[in-house]
């Protein structure tokens, strides 16, 4: 299985040089969202946290309430 997946990933990275950047942003945002508590609504941090949640792809049922 890895014999087919690894060449596909390598070709994807070569074809789309922005791909590693996007995956890194999503990974970092996911780590920040998981490690920090959800702020109270209306605070300055809550607005920043909404952007982090968006970058982390925490939408719908994946979102912490």
Does position 20 have pLDDT exceeding 90, yes or no?
no
CA distances from 42 to 1, 9, 25, 30, 45 (A): 48, 41, 25, 22, 8
For the cut 70, the answer to whether the pLDDT of residue 6 exceeds it is: yes
pLDDT for 24 equals: 94
Is the predicted pLDDT of residue 37 greater than 70, yes or no? yes
- pLDDT at residue 14 tops 70: yes
C-beta of residue 53 within 8 angstroms of C-beta of residue 33 = yes
pLDDT at 4 over 80: yes
Overall average pLDDT of the 20-49 stretch: 91
């Amino acid at each position: 299985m890895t014999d087919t997946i690894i060449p596909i990933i390598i070709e994807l990275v070569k074809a789309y040089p922005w791909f590693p950047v996007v995956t890194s942003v999503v990974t970092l945002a996911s780590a920040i969202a998981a490690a920090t508590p959800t702020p109270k609504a209306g605070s300055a941090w809550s607005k920043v946290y909404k952007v982090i949640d968006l970058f982390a792809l925490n939408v719908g049922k994946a979102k912490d309430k």
